[in-house]
Amino acid sequence: MAQDERGVAVVSGASSGFGERIAQLLSRQGYSVVALARRADRLKALAEQDSTGAILPVVADVRDREGLARALDELPPDFRDISVLINNAGLSRGFGPLQSGSPESWREMIDTNISGLLNVSEVLLPRLVSRGSGHVVNIGSIAANYPYMGGNVYAATKAFVHQLSLNMRVDLQGTGVRVSCVAPGMAKTEFAQVRFDGDVERADALYEGIQPLTADDVAEAVAWCVSRPAHVNINMIELMPSDQNFGLGFAGSRTTPADGTDVT
Ligand SMILES: NC(=O)c1ccc[n+]([C@@H]2O[C@H](COP(=O)([O-])OP(=O)(O)OC[C@H]3O[C@@H](n4cnc5c(N)ncnc54)[C@H](OP(=O)(O)O)[C@@H]3O)[C@@H](O)[C@H]2O)c1
Protein backbone atom coordinates (compact mmCIF):
# COMPACT_ATOMS: atom_id res chain seq x y z
CA MET A 1 0.00 0.00 0.00
CA ALA A 2 1.04 3.57 -0.50
CA GLN A 3 2.17 5.19 2.74
CA ASP A 4 -1.18 6.95 3.06
CA GLU A 5 -3.99 8.31 0.90
CA ARG A 6 -1.61 10.85 -0.65
CA GLY A 7 -0.58 8.15 -3.12
CA VAL A 8 2.63 7.90 -5.08
CA ALA A 9 4.94 10.65 -6.27
CA VAL A 10 7.11 10.03 -9.33
CA VAL A 11 10.28 12.14 -9.24
CA SER A 12 12.42 12.16 -12.37
CA GLY A 13 16.11 12.95 -11.92
CA ALA A 14 16.07 11.64 -8.34
CA SER A 15 19.68 10.42 -8.26
CA SER A 16 21.13 13.80 -7.24
CA GLY A 17 20.45 17.47 -6.59
CA PHE A 18 16.86 18.72 -6.41
CA GLY A 19 15.29 15.39 -7.33
CA GLU A 20 17.04 13.51 -4.55
CA ARG A 21 15.93 16.07 -1.94
CA ILE A 22 12.39 16.22 -3.34
CA ALA A 23 12.14 12.41 -3.13
CA GLN A 24 13.36 12.43 0.48
CA LEU A 25 11.04 15.26 1.52
CA LEU A 26 7.93 13.80 -0.12
CA SER A 27 8.59 10.38 1.41
CA ARG A 28 8.87 12.01 4.85
CA GLN A 29 5.56 13.73 4.15
CA GLY A 30 3.78 10.41 3.56
CA TYR A 31 4.11 9.79 -0.16
CA SER A 32 5.44 6.60 -1.60
CA VAL A 33 8.06 7.74 -4.12
CA VAL A 34 9.17 6.36 -7.46
CA ALA A 35 12.73 7.67 -7.81
CA LEU A 36 13.67 7.66 -11.48
CA ALA A 37 17.06 8.31 -13.10
CA ARG A 38 19.84 6.50 -14.99
CA ARG A 39 22.38 5.90 -12.19
CA ALA A 40 21.26 2.72 -10.43
CA ASP A 41 23.85 2.93 -7.62
CA ARG A 42 22.71 6.42 -6.59
CA LEU A 43 19.05 5.42 -6.60
CA LYS A 44 19.78 2.28 -4.59
CA ALA A 45 21.62 4.34 -1.94
CA LEU A 46 18.74 6.83 -1.83
CA ALA A 47 16.22 4.06 -1.24
CA GLU A 48 18.36 2.28 1.36
CA GLN A 49 19.05 5.45 3.33
CA ASP A 50 15.40 6.48 3.48
CA SER A 51 13.97 5.61 6.89
CA THR A 52 10.39 5.34 5.59
CA GLY A 53 11.30 2.48 3.23
CA ALA A 54 8.87 4.02 0.75
CA ILE A 55 11.28 5.01 -2.05
CA LEU A 56 11.37 2.71 -5.07
CA PRO A 57 14.37 3.09 -7.39
CA VAL A 58 13.47 2.92 -11.09
CA VAL A 59 16.36 3.03 -13.52
CA ALA A 60 15.30 4.68 -16.77
CA ASP A 61 16.46 7.26 -19.27
CA VAL A 62 13.78 9.87 -19.92
CA ARG A 63 14.99 10.12 -23.53
CA ASP A 64 14.16 6.45 -24.15
CA ARG A 65 10.41 6.64 -24.73
CA GLU A 66 9.79 2.91 -24.94
CA GLY A 67 12.10 1.85 -22.10
CA LEU A 68 10.62 4.54 -19.89
CA ALA A 69 7.03 3.50 -20.67
CA ARG A 70 7.94 -0.13 -19.92
CA ALA A 71 9.52 0.79 -16.57
CA LEU A 72 6.46 2.82 -15.54
CA ASP A 73 4.08 0.08 -16.73
CA GLU A 74 5.88 -2.50 -14.61
CA LEU A 75 5.65 -0.67 -11.29
CA PRO A 76 4.72 -2.97 -8.40
CA PRO A 77 1.09 -2.64 -7.18
CA ASP A 78 2.01 -0.49 -4.15
CA PHE A 79 3.50 2.14 -6.46
CA ARG A 80 0.76 2.42 -9.07
CA ASP A 81 -1.57 4.95 -7.47
CA ILE A 82 0.36 7.91 -8.88
CA SER A 83 -0.92 11.27 -7.66
CA VAL A 84 2.13 13.50 -8.11
CA LEU A 85 4.60 13.88 -10.97
CA ILE A 86 7.73 15.96 -10.51
CA ASN A 87 9.32 16.54 -13.92
CA ASN A 88 12.79 17.41 -12.70
CA ALA A 89 15.30 15.45 -14.83
CA GLY A 90 17.35 17.87 -16.86
CA LEU A 91 20.79 19.13 -17.69
CA SER A 92 22.84 21.78 -19.40
CA ARG A 93 25.94 21.23 -21.53
CA GLY A 94 28.50 23.87 -22.35
CA PHE A 95 28.67 27.57 -21.54
CA GLY A 96 29.90 29.21 -24.70
CA PRO A 97 28.04 31.48 -27.12
CA LEU A 98 25.64 29.92 -29.61
CA GLN A 99 27.87 30.76 -32.55
CA SER A 100 30.56 28.41 -31.23
CA GLY A 101 28.24 25.86 -29.64
CA SER A 102 28.02 22.13 -30.19
CA PRO A 103 24.99 20.66 -32.00
CA GLU A 104 25.50 17.41 -30.04
CA SER A 105 25.14 19.31 -26.77
CA TRP A 106 22.07 21.17 -28.07
CA ARG A 107 20.50 17.86 -29.05
CA GLU A 108 21.22 16.30 -25.65
CA MET A 109 19.58 19.24 -23.84
CA ILE A 110 16.56 19.24 -26.16
CA ASP A 111 16.17 15.45 -25.91
CA THR A 112 16.39 15.50 -22.11
CA ASN A 113 14.76 18.76 -21.02
CA ILE A 114 12.00 18.86 -23.64
CA SER A 115 11.41 15.40 -25.14
CA GLY A 116 12.26 13.62 -21.88
CA LEU A 117 9.71 15.69 -19.96
CA LEU A 118 7.13 14.98 -22.65
CA ASN A 119 7.93 11.24 -22.61
CA VAL A 120 7.26 10.98 -18.87
CA SER A 121 4.15 13.14 -19.18
CA GLU A 122 2.82 11.05 -22.07
CA VAL A 123 2.81 7.96 -19.85
CA LEU A 124 1.62 9.50 -16.60
CA LEU A 125 -0.83 12.30 -17.44
CA PRO A 126 -3.59 9.89 -18.55
CA ARG A 127 -3.19 8.03 -15.24
CA LEU A 128 -3.49 11.24 -13.23
CA VAL A 129 -6.55 12.25 -15.22
CA SER A 130 -8.27 8.90 -14.72
CA ARG A 131 -7.48 9.12 -10.98
CA GLY A 132 -9.40 12.42 -10.95
CA SER A 133 -6.85 14.23 -8.79
CA GLY A 134 -3.17 14.92 -8.87
CA HIS A 135 -0.39 17.43 -9.32
CA VAL A 136 2.37 17.97 -11.86
CA VAL A 137 5.35 20.12 -10.92
CA ASN A 138 7.71 20.98 -13.76
CA ILE A 139 11.17 22.27 -12.88
CA GLY A 140 11.94 25.29 -15.02
CA SER A 141 14.69 27.85 -14.48
CA ILE A 142 15.18 31.57 -14.16
CA ALA A 143 17.26 31.09 -17.33
CA ALA A 144 13.92 30.89 -19.16
CA ASN A 145 13.08 34.45 -18.13
CA TYR A 146 16.43 36.28 -17.97
CA PRO A 147 19.12 35.76 -20.61
CA TYR A 148 22.76 35.32 -19.68
CA MET A 149 25.79 34.82 -21.88
CA GLY A 150 26.11 31.14 -22.79
CA GLY A 151 22.60 30.26 -21.62
CA ASN A 152 21.18 30.01 -25.17
CA VAL A 153 19.82 26.51 -25.88
CA TYR A 154 19.56 25.49 -22.22
CA ALA A 155 17.56 28.65 -21.48
CA ALA A 156 15.33 28.01 -24.48
CA THR A 157 14.56 24.46 -23.33
CA LYS A 158 13.47 25.90 -20.00
CA ALA A 159 11.31 28.53 -21.72
CA PHE A 160 9.57 25.56 -23.35
CA VAL A 161 9.01 24.06 -19.89
CA HIS A 162 7.48 27.30 -18.62
CA GLN A 163 5.11 27.69 -21.54
CA LEU A 164 4.20 24.01 -21.55
CA SER A 165 3.35 24.27 -17.85
CA LEU A 166 0.83 27.04 -18.54
CA ASN A 167 -0.67 25.10 -21.42
CA MET A 168 -0.73 21.84 -19.46
CA ARG A 169 -2.69 23.64 -16.80
CA VAL A 170 -5.27 24.82 -19.32
CA ASP A 171 -5.57 21.36 -20.91
CA LEU A 172 -5.99 19.71 -17.50
CA GLN A 173 -8.59 22.21 -16.31
CA GLY A 174 -11.54 20.37 -14.79
CA THR A 175 -9.71 17.05 -14.42
CA GLY A 176 -8.62 17.61 -10.81
CA VAL A 177 -4.98 17.67 -11.88
CA ARG A 178 -3.08 20.80 -10.91
CA VAL A 179 0.09 22.09 -12.58
CA SER A 180 2.92 24.17 -11.14
CA CYS A 181 6.26 25.32 -12.47
CA VAL A 182 9.14 25.95 -10.08
CA ALA A 183 11.91 28.09 -11.57
CA PRO A 184 15.09 28.19 -9.49
CA GLY A 185 18.10 30.42 -9.94
CA MET A 186 21.62 29.27 -9.21
CA ALA A 187 21.69 26.28 -6.90
CA LYS A 188 24.62 24.14 -5.81
CA THR A 189 24.04 20.61 -7.11
CA GLU A 190 25.85 18.49 -9.69
CA PHE A 191 24.32 20.69 -12.39
CA ALA A 192 27.45 22.80 -13.04
CA GLN A 193 29.71 19.72 -13.02
CA VAL A 194 27.55 18.18 -15.75
CA ARG A 195 27.55 21.46 -17.64
CA PHE A 196 31.38 21.57 -17.52
CA ASP A 197 31.80 17.87 -18.40
CA GLY A 198 32.94 16.84 -14.92
CA ASP A 199 35.32 19.76 -14.29
CA VAL A 200 34.69 20.11 -10.55
CA GLU A 201 37.12 22.99 -10.07
CA ARG A 202 35.42 25.06 -12.74
CA ALA A 203 32.01 24.16 -11.36
CA ASP A 204 32.99 25.14 -7.81
CA ALA A 205 34.38 28.48 -9.04
CA LEU A 206 30.87 29.38 -10.14
CA TYR A 207 29.74 29.56 -6.52
CA GLU A 208 32.73 31.41 -5.07
CA GLY A 209 31.72 34.45 -3.06
CA ILE A 210 27.99 33.85 -3.25
CA GLN A 211 25.60 31.74 -1.26
CA PRO A 212 23.70 29.68 -3.84
CA LEU A 213 20.33 28.05 -3.28
CA THR A 214 20.46 24.55 -1.85
CA ALA A 215 18.60 21.55 -3.18
CA ASP A 216 16.56 21.70 0.03
CA ASP A 217 15.40 25.26 -0.78
CA VAL A 218 14.01 23.99 -4.08
CA ALA A 219 12.54 20.80 -2.59
CA GLU A 220 10.65 22.90 -0.03
CA ALA A 221 9.18 25.09 -2.77
CA VAL A 222 8.03 22.00 -4.67
CA ALA A 223 6.52 20.40 -1.56
CA TRP A 224 4.74 23.68 -0.75
CA CYS A 225 3.07 23.75 -4.20
CA VAL A 226 1.90 20.16 -3.79
CA SER A 227 0.60 20.66 -0.25
CA ARG A 228 -1.75 23.60 -1.01
CA PRO A 229 -5.47 22.87 -0.58
CA ALA A 230 -7.17 21.37 -3.65
CA HIS A 231 -8.77 24.70 -4.66
CA VAL A 232 -5.38 26.47 -4.92
CA ASN A 233 -3.14 26.13 -7.99
CA ILE A 234 0.33 27.65 -7.68
CA ASN A 235 1.17 28.50 -11.29
CA MET A 236 4.77 29.55 -10.93
CA ILE A 237 7.39 30.03 -8.25
CA GLU A 238 10.61 31.81 -9.13
CA LEU A 239 13.35 31.71 -6.50
CA MET A 240 16.98 32.73 -6.62
CA PRO A 241 19.86 33.42 -4.24
CA SER A 242 19.67 36.82 -2.57
CA ASP A 243 23.12 37.41 -4.10
CA GLN A 244 21.94 36.71 -7.65
CA ASN A 245 21.01 39.75 -9.67
CA PHE A 246 19.00 38.00 -12.43
CA GLY A 247 20.78 36.09 -15.20
CA LEU A 248 24.25 35.31 -13.97
CA GLY A 249 25.00 38.78 -12.64
CA PHE A 250 25.92 38.66 -8.97
CA ALA A 251 26.15 41.12 -6.16
CA GLY A 252 29.61 42.72 -6.22
CA SER A 253 31.77 42.66 -9.31
CA ARG A 254 30.89 39.26 -10.80
CA THR A 255 29.86 39.31 -14.43
CA THR A 256 29.69 36.81 -17.26
CA PRO A 257 32.42 37.39 -19.85
CA ALA A 258 31.64 37.26 -23.54
CA ASP A 259 33.63 34.10 -24.19
CA GLY A 260 31.63 32.22 -21.57
CA THR A 261 34.71 30.46 -20.23
CA ASP A 262 34.56 31.68 -16.67
CA VAL A 263 32.34 33.74 -14.47
CA THR A 264 34.73 34.80 -11.75
N1 LIG B 1 21.21 23.71 -10.20
C2 LIG B 1 20.76 24.79 -10.77
O3 LIG B 1 21.37 25.87 -10.67
C4 LIG B 1 19.44 24.76 -11.52
C5 LIG B 1 18.76 25.98 -11.66
C6 LIG B 1 17.55 25.98 -12.33
C7 LIG B 1 17.02 24.80 -12.81
N8 LIG B 1 17.71 23.63 -12.66
C9 LIG B 1 17.07 22.42 -13.18
O10 LIG B 1 16.79 21.57 -12.09
C11 LIG B 1 16.72 20.23 -12.53
C12 LIG B 1 17.56 19.36 -11.62
O13 LIG B 1 18.90 19.77 -11.72
P14 LIG B 1 19.93 19.71 -10.51
O15 LIG B 1 20.41 21.09 -10.27
O16 LIG B 1 19.37 18.95 -9.38
O17 LIG B 1 21.15 18.93 -11.25
P18 LIG B 1 21.80 17.50 -11.00
O19 LIG B 1 22.28 17.38 -9.59
O20 LIG B 1 22.78 17.32 -12.09
O21 LIG B 1 20.57 16.49 -11.19
C22 LIG B 1 20.03 16.21 -12.47
C23 LIG B 1 19.22 14.94 -12.39
O24 LIG B 1 18.64 14.68 -13.67
C25 LIG B 1 18.88 13.34 -14.00
N26 LIG B 1 18.93 13.13 -15.44
C27 LIG B 1 19.68 13.78 -16.36
N28 LIG B 1 19.49 13.26 -17.58
C29 LIG B 1 18.59 12.25 -17.43
C30 LIG B 1 18.01 11.31 -18.32
N31 LIG B 1 18.30 11.31 -19.64
N32 LIG B 1 17.13 10.40 -17.84
C33 LIG B 1 16.84 10.38 -16.51
N34 LIG B 1 17.35 11.24 -15.61
C35 LIG B 1 18.23 12.16 -16.07
C36 LIG B 1 20.22 12.98 -13.33
O37 LIG B 1 20.30 11.59 -13.09
P38 LIG B 1 21.19 10.52 -13.88
O39 LIG B 1 22.42 11.22 -14.39
O40 LIG B 1 21.47 9.47 -12.85
O41 LIG B 1 20.28 10.03 -14.97
C42 LIG B 1 20.07 13.73 -12.02
O43 LIG B 1 19.36 12.93 -11.10
C44 LIG B 1 17.14 20.23 -13.98
O45 LIG B 1 15.98 20.19 -14.80
C46 LIG B 1 17.87 21.56 -14.13
O47 LIG B 1 17.80 22.03 -15.46
C48 LIG B 1 18.91 23.59 -12.00
| pLDDT higher at 252 or 59 | 59
The predicted model scores a pTM of 0.95
What was the pLDDT predicted at 247? 76
Q: What's the 19 CA to ligand 1 centre distance in angstroms?
A: 7
> Do strands 134-139 and 82-87 pair parallel, antiparallel, or not at all (unpaired)?
parallel
- Residue 56's CATH number: 3.40.50.720
Residue 43 included in any domain: yes
Query: Which residues are catalytically annotated?
Result: 154
Residue 247 included in any domain: no
3-state SS, residue 255:
coil
Is the CB–ligand 1 distance for residue 194 below 6 Å? yes
Q: Mean pLDDT across the stretch 32-40?
A: 98
Residue 252 included in any domain: no
Ligand 1 atom at minimum distance from 213 CA: 3
Asked if residue 254 has pLDDT above 80, the reply is no
Is the CB–ligand 1 distance for residue 28 below 6 Å? no
Residue 155 included in any domain: yes
Ligand 1 atom at minimum distance from 43 CA: 40
Residue 192 included in any domain: yes
Residue 7: burial class (beta carbons within 10 Å; 0-12, 13-18, 19+):
buried
Is the CB–ligand 1 distance for residue 112 below 6 Å? yes
Residue 260 included in any domain: no
For residue 191, the surrounding DSSP H or E stretch is helix 191-195
Q: What's the 92 CA to ligand 1 centre distance in angstroms?
A: 8
What was the pLDDT predicted at 4? 62
Domain span including residue 226 = 8-239
Q: How many domains does the chain have?
A: 1
Q: Mean pLDDT across the stretch 72-82?
A: 97
Q: Which of 62-66, 142-146, 206-210 has the weakest average pLDDT?
A: 206-210
Asked if residue 221 has pLDDT above 50, the reply is yes
Residue 261 included in any domain: no
Residue 244 included in any domain: no
Q: What's the 7 CA to ligand 1 centre distance in angstroms?
A: 24
What was the pLDDT predicted at 258? 39
